[in-house]
């Protein structure tokens, strides 16, 4: 009876571990990624540890206002092509205040060392040709960045991303970045999105962000090997018992 029970425990444990390994793929880590929940925002700087998994902290600058939750139904031109509908995060940059970004960031748990991560979302610029704004598209620069953190909230590994992205006038443009493998000591992740004027604007410009996700991305072949390896364990014990 004890031997049969031990087999059941082994098989059950392996099943749980296999399900865990497979379910890790595709799990979104970002909180309030569609910016729809007004409670998914918090003070800047983020309080540690109370602000972990608490959503976005937003910040402006001396010339540019703090980003705000924006109801996209009030902007039919962008809403018509919005990826999620409802709300977005609006960032504004005034003309003549170059390289003075505004943005939002959050710190989240749930990091798996040895996994790479995929950060993705959409950005769009609200443009009215009669306002005297920029005369060409795309618009930017927009920053996506990601930094892994240790259990003591120290940076570990490289800073991924940068001001390498652009938005389109009244059009949602996909933006994304992929990290390398999370270091063995990674426990948290800091994700930031920003917008800044680079000296080309002739009037205030609004940039919208919506929605953003961050998911672990091990290769499917790696997941399959993990699952097969875990599934083989009970057969090893059964064969050993027979011998």
User: How confident is the model at residue 171, as a pLDDT?
Assistant: 80
Could you please report the per-residue DSSP string of 106-122?
Answer: EEE----TT--EEEEEE
User: How confident is the model at residue 125, as a pLDDT?
Assistant: 85
- pLDDT mean over 62-91: 81
Determine the Cα–Cα distance for residues 55 and 191; give it in Å rounded to an integer. Answer: 10
**Fold for the domain defined by 22-218:** Jelly Rolls (2.60.120)
DSSP 130: G
Confidence of residue 221 (pLDDT cuts 50, 70, 90): very low
Determine the Cα–Cα distance for residues 197 and 206; give it in Å rounded to an integer. Answer: 10
* pLDDT higher than 60, residue 11: no
User: How confident is the model at residue 14, as a pLDDT?
Assistant: 43
Determine the Cα–Cα distance for residues 179 and 107; give it in Å rounded to an integer. Answer: 16
User: How confident is the model at residue 68, as a pLDDT?
Assistant: 94
Residue pair 227/21 in contact by the 8 Å Cβ criterion:
yes
User: How confident is the model at residue 31, as a pLDDT?
Assistant: 98
Confidence of residue 15 (pLDDT cuts 50, 70, 90): very low
Determine the Cα–Cα distance for residues 167 and 137; give it in Å rounded to an integer. Answer: 8
| Higher pLDDT, residue 188 or 227 | 188
């Amino acid at each position: 009876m004890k031997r049969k029970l031990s087999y059941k425990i082994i098989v059950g444990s392996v099943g749980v571990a296999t399900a865990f390994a497979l379910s890790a793929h595709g799990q979104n880590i970002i909180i309030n990624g569609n910016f729809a929940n007004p409670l998914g925002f918090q003070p800047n700087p983020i309080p540690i540890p109370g602000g972990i998994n608490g959503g976005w902290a937003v910040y402006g600058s001396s010339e540019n206002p703090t980003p705000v939750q924006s109801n996209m139904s009030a902007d039919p031109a962008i809403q018509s092509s919005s990826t999620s509908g409802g709300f977005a995060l609006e960032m504004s940059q005034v003309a003549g205040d170059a390289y003075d970004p505004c943005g939002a960031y959050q710190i989240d748990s749930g990091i798996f060392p040895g996994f790479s991560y995929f950060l993705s979302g959409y950005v769009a610029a609200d443009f009215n040709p009669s306002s005297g704004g920029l005369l060409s598209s795309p618009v930017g620069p927009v920053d996506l960045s990601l930094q892994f953190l240790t259990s003591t909230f120290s940076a570990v590994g490289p800073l991924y991303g940068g001001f390498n992205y652009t938005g389109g006038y009244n059009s949602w443009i996909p933006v994304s970045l992929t990290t390398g493998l999370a270091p063995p000591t990674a426990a948290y992740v800091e994700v930031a999105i920003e917008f800044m004027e680079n000296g080309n604007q002739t009037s205030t410009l609004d940039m919208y962000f919506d929605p953003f996700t961050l998911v672990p991305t091990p290769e499917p072949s790696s997941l399959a090997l993990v699952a097969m390896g875990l599934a083989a364990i009970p057969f090893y014990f059964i064969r050993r018992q027979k011998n």
